[in-house]
Structure formats: structure tokens, C-alpha cells
Chains A and B, each alone.
Chain A
Amino acid sequence: MAKKAHITTTVNGDEYEFLCDPSQTLVDVLRNELELTGTKEGCSTGDCGACSVTINGDLVCSCLVLGVEVEGKEIETIEGMAGPEDDLHPLQQKFLEINGLQCGICTPGILVAAKSLLERNSDPTETEIRYWLAGNLCRCTGYDKIIRSVQAAAEEIREG
């Protein structure tokens, strides 16, 4: 087996060091090396979006990124979305109020993806939200309440 690489990276503002096999994906490292299990693995082929995180602000499927690629990068995961003492992001609050989640397995990926959308476009149309989230599968909700939650959060963010 190939020798493990020593990687230093930042996750949700905290510095982390880990050893990782060259074939290990970022989602594997986050979950199994750093024990940040909020990021979920649903398919390992970039089709379901459950493992969505941002790297230096770019939204990615962490199953399509290798652990060795994140040296010196800044990663944001679902665990970094709320402030201290559950000071929830408006998206998290609206998903709770509008019931934008049922089983909750896709929720971390959808929240990370939706946050990334709202940082780029604070007033997205329904169609823009639907296309932005087209890479995040949800099997429980039929998407209706997810879209409404994102719309409500966007409105709250706009109104400050």
C-alpha cells in the first residue's frame, strides 16, 4: 500500500492535520479521520450531493475530491454553519419552521449547497433554486418544502 500523506487544512475555521491514503476521498477523511460525520455519503459518484461541502468557497461533492488535494485549503461543512450555542443560519431556521426536511440524510448537503447559492444570489427565482439544487437528491420531500425554505431564508437574509 502507498504511504500516507500528511495534510494540513482548515475546516470550519479550525486547523486540522491528518494522514491520508492517496486514494482516500475528502468525504472519507472528513467522516472517518476527522469524525465530522455531518457530511453524508450517499453514492460516492457525485450524483446525490449528500456530501456537499465548500473548498475555498467553491461548492463541491467531497466524494469527488481526494483528501490529498485539500492541503492549505479552507473547507466549510455543515458543522460550521450555525454559530456558537446553536445560533442557527437563516437557512437552518427556515428548514425547521417550514419542515424542509423529513429523514434528514440529504439535509446537510442541501443546506451547504443552498448557502452557497444565497452567497452568490440573494434573490433567486424558484427556477434558479431548483437548478442550483438539482445536484442534491432528496427522496422524502418531493422538494416542495425545501424550495420554500430556501425562498424564505433568502427573504430573511435580504431584509437583514
Chain B
Amino acid sequence: MATILEESGFDASADLKVVGTNPIKHDGLDKVTGRAKFGADAFLPGMLIGKILRSPHAHANIKSIDTSKAEALPGVKAVITSADFPEKAQGTGPGDMSRNAMAREKALYDGHPVAAVAATSENIAKHALKLIEVEYEVLPHVIDPVEAMKDGAPILHDYLRTKGMEGVEDKPTNITERMVTESGDVKTGFEEADEIIDKEFDSKPMHQGYIEPQATIVDYSEDGQVEIWCCTQAPFVYRDRLSAVLDIDCNKINIQQSELGGGFGGKTGFYGEPLATLLSKKSSRPVKITLTRGEVFRGTGPVSGTSSKIKMGCTKEGKITAAQAELVFQTGPYTGSMYFNAPNAMFTRYALENIHVVSYEVVSNRPKVNAFRAPCVPQIVFGVEGIIDELARKIGMDPIEFRLKNAAKEGHTTIYGDTWGPVGFVETLEAAKKSDHYLAPVKPGEGRGLAAGFWFNRGGETAASLNLAPDGTVTIAVGTADVAGSRISISMMAAEELGIPVDQVRVKMADTNSLGFNRVTAGSRTTYSVGMVIVDSARKCIAELRRRAAGIWDVPEDGVVFEEGKCRPASSNVGEFEPLSISDLCKQTTMSDGPICGHSEMNVTGAGPGFGVHIVDVKVDDKTGRVDVTRYTVIQDCGKAIHPQQVEGQIQGGAIQGVGWALNEEYIYNEKGCLDNPTFLDYRMPVASDVPMVETDIVEVPNPKHPFGLRGVGEVPVVPTMAAVGNAIGDVVGIRPQSLPMSPPKLLEIIEHAKAEGVYKG
């Protein structure tokens, strides 16, 4: 049977009944009544509490660990160190994952786990941690990625050599990889330019900031079966990685994801799971590990801090002739920043011929990076869109006109080699130009900024199944996580395809034993990819329903059509038959060929690029350096909004996360390399009184590769945010900031300069 990979059946004129409406999400009731079960909300009989001992040093050799006193404490049932992990070679995937979960030779950041205990109560477990004696040899540390690249910087791994610079110099380095991304000839491009701007930018790590700390319960049974309950964006990836790190067969590890209390990329890599597994194995009892907020900040992955040099040139007519950059990404002690997204995305949305980007990924003594919405892209776009704005100003062109003049359209071949089908960047810019916000005058004393962003959107390995019940209702099992409401969107697509009301469909996140591999729920892939396999599954069910009806009526299969949830004769020539509903047919499966279900497995392709334009107004207090965002508008192409209210919510949330990153959020390390702000009090995320409403305008340029035309939504809204806020601050202060976050101390300095130079407009 053909799958929709070959033919999506997208029909722009289709009369959609469910897709595009806003039904209440099925998981909502449990969430407003307190019944929804998140990671920390489960208990098992005989369960122990696990706690983790963490390094107080940024960089130290571990000389010895003595756990004997902890083991002797009544109530302690297991103590583990790296010695309990199978040996995995340094510098390999499993070796890095094992060492990140539990330090082996060295502690590589403040908060790196060095031992863990399981005890009958939390108090006993905490007390036991104090009895573990670790002898450290403290080493010099390095956190800033540019410092870490310099000769003479403290070296994290003696074995590390730079990928992409093989044969240059055989000595230890902190640079994991150097990558060149290029097209055309920038030299010629810059020669053609009338205006060139060349600037440096930097950003600090920010944390994903999910409100639910990681929590897991692991039950390691006598016969080696491992049952895991945890909050994760990637149950199958956790399973496969645990298998690789702990040498346990994949089929003996079964992960049931809980409700997920926020992730934003930060729950794509595990922390407590391998420790709880070993503690449960050693104690022969279930073990629960719930991280504290301090542990979340100190021990789980913030995003990459960056340093960048970006140069762009344009003609006085407004054509960008060349773009060049050197980018440095901080990754924590191990590779995995996904920095390659940045050179591929930073200029993509503009049709540029001449690009040259050199990127470096650098290890340093901070927690290992984890993904965050559009990994590594927003902090670089902060610089790119600042320069774009300045070029527009220099040649006296409206910033939207300048972007329109350079906008990539259908048929554009990107720097990463894809040639685009229909894309909506021009439509998004045109909508921005006509928006109320852009047309409204800037209030006196305020500044306005605008910026544009792009994200690839993703597909990838996806497996799901759809089952029809005798009463005509439908259950769907998915292996992806629901990060913000995908269950209702998936239900809606199934209902649309099957011609039934959405309330007859329920989606369940299945455990890893029940389905084929599903890639992480990240990169704006879930509603798109699961939508593909669910529509495919529904179409397989429909084909089977038609076959069964044809059998009952004793007519050929092509004499039966499926419309509005019922099998009907294709024409009066076929005969006069009462329509058969899903329920009618599923009630008689005993007499026909058994249950009617559809399942589908794909490596989903065809994800359509997404674009957003953000417009921001700000007020800057020149006495305190405080910035107030007074108005915020997002215009974004989503292809097709399955559930428009949820799309708006994703956009609004992404934008406000970006506002936090723009103005406040950063990891602050002291001179010892220890994190100075591991609390929500000192790591200040936006609260309700900090921000305005976020106006949204959803543009729909359909992606014909998808049955309903959708693209992804979740990554794009954070991509241009900091750039837009930066451009707004630059508009009122007179000097555009180049360092993230644009926090009060930095802004006071900029305001002082701007006043001295006579450019301050506030």
C-alpha cells in the first residue's frame, strides 16, 4: 500500500471540519484538577529514595572515594560510584554519557555527580551523602569558551584532538571540532558591497527553565527486567542510551513516560535514570530520584554560551552581497551542542550567494549542554539580525523592505543543500508590514525593533498505531512525548481523516515495549511527523473498512467509498445499501477478518521550513538599566494551524522565553568556577508582571508534503526574539547591544556611552 510519504493527498480546497478548530485538549481536565501524574507523582511499594553527591569543584581529579561509612548507616540500601558502571572508553558516545551521569577520572563541573545513595528515607539518604569521603585534587578550570581555546588554557581531556583539524598539531585541545560552511566567494561578494558591517557578539548560557525538576522511578527486577517511569522528551532514546551505557539489552528496559512538566529540549538527555537503575539493581528495590531545583541548575544542561564575529555587506540598492562569520560554541565537558545548526540557519531565509562560516565547538567546565528550542541558533541570530537592521539603516531602507529584497523564495537552494518547495517568508514579512503594530507610531521615549528567524522543522523516525473499537471510538498509541498539547492535535488529524468527532479519539503515550523506535520529541517535529503516521494509519483502516463493507454487500471494493465516517455505495449502480459506520463494521469483526487497526512506521521527510517576524516595543530606564517590553507581536508561518489556540500558545511562550534570555537569564560563575545563581530567585525568568500580552498573527502557507499542510511551530518563536529586543533597545538607546543578556549593568554602560556620543534618544 502506498504511504503518504509518496502522496500526502494535500488538498488546499478541502472542507476541513476538525482541523483548524479549538477543541479542549483531552489531557486538560486532569491537569486543572491536579490528577495528572508527572515524574515525581508516582510511588511504588518498597520504594527507596535516591540522592546524588555532586562535585563542589569545577575541575578536579578524583583521587579516591570512600563510601564505607555511608554504607554502614542504618537505612542505606545501596551506594554507587563510577566503579559500578561498565567501563566505556573515553571520548566515545557511551563513554561520554557514562561519565556525564557519574564522574569517573575527573569531576568536570560544579555539580558533576560523583556518587549516589538509596535509602529508606530522604533524610537518611541526605545524611549518607555527608558520610561519603571524596579526595579531590583541584585543577585549574576554564568556563569561557574563548579562553578555553587559547594556548595554555586548562585542558579538560588529554585525549581530545580537534575534528576537522587532523594533522595540524598533535596535542591536547579543548576544541572538539572545527567546521567550515561555505558557498560562493565572499571575497568577491564583499568587493561588490557598498556598505560593510563587521561586529562581535557574545552570549551566556541560559537554562531551559522547565518548572518540573527531573524525576524518575526505576524498578530493576530479579530477572533483569528494568521498568522505568520518568519525565522525558525521548523515551526511546533514553532506553537505547541506557542500554549502551549500562550493557542491558534494549528489550529489558521498558520506559513509561509520565506527563512532562516542561522540557523545551532539556529533557532529551538523561540524568537520574542510569543512577537509579544501578541503585535499584544493587538494592533490589525500586528507587526514586527527584532532582532539586539547585541540582537542575548545577547539573543539567543549559544552552551553549557563544562568541561570534559576523560580517555582512550590501549594495546601496539593498542586495546583501556577502556574509561571513566565525562562531564559537561552549558545550560543557562533552560534545553535543548541535552547533552545526547555527551555520546552517543563521543566514537561511535570505537568498545569499556568498557565505563563509567557521564554527568551533569547545569543551569547558560547566554542565553538558542540552538542547533548547532551535539549538544554538537564536543566540547567533541575535547578531545577524542586528547587522541586517544596521545595514538597512545605513542605506536608508525600511527594515522590512530590506529583508523582502533579500528574502528566499520557493526554489531557493540552501547552504545545507535543500531546495525549497513553497515557503512563506515573503508572506510573513508582508503580513508584518501590514500589522497594526508596525503601522502604529512608536510611543515617545520608546524604541521599536524587528527581527526575522528561520527553523528547518524536522521529521525523523516515528511509529504509532491506531485502533478502532466496536463502539466506533478510536485509540492511538504514540511513542513521542506531549510537550505542549500534541495529543489533541494528533486526535484532531485522526478525527478529520476518519470523519468522526474529535471526542471519539484518545491518544495515549505508550511505553517503549509497545511501539517501534520514535526519535526525540524536539525540533518542531512531533505534530508534523506523528500526523504523517497517524493519517497513514487512518488511511489503512479506511481501506480495510471499505474491504469489509464490500464483503458484507458482496460488491467489488472500488464500489465502496468512505465518507463522513461511513462506508457507502460509490454509486446507485453498486446497489442500494444502508451506510455502514465504523462501529457497524467493528461490531462484526468476529464474523469477518478480525480487529481493524492501522499502524505506520516511517522515517518522516518533507518538513517545511518555518519563518517568524517579531516586532517589539521597549522602554528603557536610564537610571537603572531596566527594560520594559511594552508591546510584542509575532507573525509566523505555520503552514496550517491544526489547533490555532495551541499554536498561539507555543508562539507566545517561545517569545517570552526569548525575552528572558534577552534581558536577564544567564549562568553566573564565581572565581572558583561554581554557579552563583542556582535558584529561581537569582536566575530570574520572566514573571507575569514583567511582560505584556503577545499578539500573534498566524500566516498559513501550506506545506504540500503534509496531508493538512502543516509545518512545525515550536522552535521558530524563540529564534528572532533576542535580536528583536536588541534592535528595539538600540533604537531608543542609540547603540545596539552586542552582548546577551542585555542586563541592567551592561545597559547602564551602553547608555552612558550613548549619552557621551550624543546618540541617546530615550
Contacts and interface: CB of A to CB of B under 8 A. Distances in A.
Interface of A: 1, 21, 23, 31, 35-45, 47-48, 50, 77-79, 81-82, 86, 88, 92, 95-99, 101-108, 111, 126-127, 129-131, 133-148
Interface of B is mostly: loop
A136 B688 contact: yes
A106 B679 CA distance: 17
Nearest to A39: B34
Contacts of A97: 24
A23 B123 contact: yes
A143 B262 contact: no
A145 B261 contact: no
B17 interface: no
Interface string B34-61: 1111101101000000000000000000
A130 B692 CA distance: 9
Contact of B685 (A35, A126, A137): A137
Given A137-B685, A145-B652, 15 more contacts: A31-B40, A47-B293, A50-B211, A95-B28, A96-B28, A99-B646, A101-B28, A102-B484, A127-B689, A131-B688, A134-B688, A137-B687, A141-B652, A142-B655, A148-B693
Nearest to A105: B261
Contacts of A96: 24-25, 28-29, 32
Nearest to A50: B211
A104 B29 contact: no
A105 B690 CA distance: 21
B123 A139 contact: no
B691 interface: yes
Contacts of A43: 293, 679-680
B38 A105 contact: yes
Nearest to B695: A144
Given A40-B211, A104-B31, A141-B653, A130 B689 contact: yes
Interface string B469-493: 0000000000000011100000000
A74 B123 CA distance: 27
B649 interface: yes
B292 interface: yes
A151 B508 CA distance: 32
A47 B680 contact: yes
Contacts of A88: 32-33
Given A23-B123, A101-B31, A103-B484, A42 B688 contact: no
Contact of B656 (A81, A99, A129, A143): A143
B173 interface: no
Contact of B211 (A98, A111, A126, A138): A138
A105 B212 contact: yes
B688 A146 contact: yes
Contact of A139 (B40, B211, B694): B211
A79 B33 CA distance: 6
21 contacts: A1-B123, A42-B212, A45-B293, A47-B679, A48-B211, A48-B293, A88-B33, A99-B648, A99-B649, A103-B211, A103-B212, A103-B259, A105-B38, A131-B689, A134-B687, A139-B657, A140-B262, A141-B652, A141-B656, A142-B694, A145-B649
B440 interface: no
Given A41-B40, A42-B212, A101 B645 contact: no
Interface in B194-238: 208-213
B31 A107 contact: yes
Contacts of A131: 688-689
A107 B212 contact: no
B725 interface: no
B28 A137 contact: no
Contact of A106 (B40, B211, B260): B211
B131 to A, nearest CB: 15
Contacts of B648: 99, 144-145
Interface size class of B (residues with CB under 8 A): 35 or more
A144 B633 CA distance: 12
A104 B488 CA distance: 14
B27 interface: yes
Contacts of B27: 104
B638 to A, nearest CB: 16
A86 B680 contact: no
A145 to B, nearest CB: 6
A40 B261 contact: yes
B261 to A, nearest CB: 3
B230 to A, nearest CB: 14
Contacts of A138: 211, 688
B653 A92 contact: no
Contacts of A82: 32-33
B264 interface: yes
**10 cross-chain pairs, A with B, having the tightest CB-CB distances, nearest first:** A38-B34, A105-B261, A104-B31, A142-B656, A47-B680, A78-B34, A142-B652, A37-B41, A43-B293, A92-B32
B681 interface: yes
A17 B648 CA distance: 45
B211 A144 contact: no
**Which of A23, A86, A143 has most B Cβ within 10 Å?**
A143
Contacts of A103: 210-212, 259-263, 483-484
A131 to B, nearest CB: 5
Nearest to A101: B31
Nearest to A145: B649
A11 B213 CA distance: 26
B694 A81 contact: no
A134 B691 CA distance: 10
Contacts of B689: 127, 130-131, 133-134
Contacts of A133: 687-689
A114 B649 CA distance: 19
Nearest to B31: A104
Which of A36, A111, A131, A141 gathers most chain B CB within 10 Å? Answer: A141
A134 B34 CA distance: 21
B32 A111 contact: yes
A12 B41 CA distance: 19
Nearest to B687: A134
B22 interface: yes
Contact of A86 (B33, B681, B693): B33
A40 B35 CA distance: 11
A104 B28 CA distance: 8
Contacts of A143: 656, 686, 688, 691
Contacts of A105: 38, 210-212, 259, 261-262
B261 A102 contact: no
A41 B436 CA distance: 41
B687 A140 contact: no
A90 to B, nearest CB: 11
A139 B262 CA distance: 7
Nearest to A98: B645
